[in-house]
Amino acid sequence: MMTEAAGRRVHVIQGEFKVVSDPDIVLSTILGSCVAACMRDPVAGVGGMNHFLLPGSAASVAEGGDATRYGVHLMELLINGLLKQGARRDRLEAKIFGGARTIARFSNVGEQNAAFARQFLMDEGIRIVGESTGGEHGRKLEYWPVIGRARQYALTGVEAQRAIQLDQRPAPAPKPAESSIEFF
């Protein structure tokens, strides 16, 4: 196994998930009010991370929301990705991070994200073995998915502002509906 410093970093951005079985890969992300769920199967030697913006539900996605923004979608993708790589549901373990209240005057979506992740994992029967959620500052997260080690750094000052900006990126504009009218 390579040392931490020699590991290859793969960044997981908002709306993404990654699943790996290479012990030399470190998954990383930056979180403000967003939440990242890190899951692994210690026997199969496979793990992964997701990064979601909103807790969401199947109804949110069905009503035309961008599915990649919602926890329900990304949690399911992560679990299915792990199972496809040989993980077994009964051996999965999870750690959750993020969910900060980065701007006091806004609703606490970070707390809602963390509560969603906890409830989702409980409903799916996936054991939570670690958690660092809430607070007022963003986090930089590193996760070694094969061994299950996680390390975080509190973000303050300029770093925190970057995390807030990443968390609050506007959603892409919806594509216009096709029309049978042709303009010249």
| Interstrand relation of 149-155 and 138-144 (parallel, antiparallel or unpaired) | antiparallel
Per the CB < 8 A criterion, the answer to whether 114 and 139 are in contact is: no
**Is the Cα torsion angle 111, 113, 116, 122 positive or negative in sign?**
negative
Angle at 70 between CA 16 and CA 154, to 5 degrees: 65
Is 34 among the residues known to form the active site? yes
Of residues 20, 27, 30, 34, which has the active-site annotation?
34
Say which residue the tokens 């209240």 belong to: 101
Alpha-helical regions (H) of 103-144: 109-124
Distance CA 36, CA 53 (A): 9
Distance CA 158, CA 119 (A): 33
Report the catalytic residues. Answer: 34
